[in-house]
Amino acid sequence: MGDFRGYLQRLNVRPDPEALGPAGKAALQAHFDPYAAEVVVNGRTIAWSSIDEVEVVRAARVGGPAGWLVKQMYGEDRYHVGIYFGPEEAVLTNVPLSVAEHVVRTIAFYAPHPVRYSGVEGLSPIAHG
């Protein structure tokens, strides 16, 4: 896991998926489906209370023609979001930063306890300590 930044601060307002636009909403609907007591990530049901840590990292980009093609297709950097619960993990791969931010903020809204956060700065308010 990456550099520990702190704990996600509890949010009072649930993030709005409408703000992501059609592509972001489609990515969420296919891979991240939150409910009051749990979230379904890539088909796996995870209780909010079992989430221990979230990590966001920039996806590696291959050099050469393949990397250029990916950059042209997506037009922006992509990120991986790791959600750790007990000894298990669920990973959302190659999502835009806006989707990664939405996922992190959704976890901050629903999680009933402090969740460790590491990775990209500024996606959601962090409490240190």
Residue 7 has pLDDT above 80, yes or no: yes
3-state SS of the chain: helix, strand, coil percent to 5? 35, 35, 30
- What is d(CA 101, CA 6) in angstroms, rounded to the nearest whole number? 16
Which residue shows structure tokens 């980009």?
A: 61
Residue 1 has pLDDT above 60, yes or no: no
Confidence at 45, pLDDT banded by 50, 70, 90: very high
Q: Report DSSP state, residue 19.
A: G
Q: What structural domains and CATH numbers belong to the chain? A: 4-119 (2.30.29)
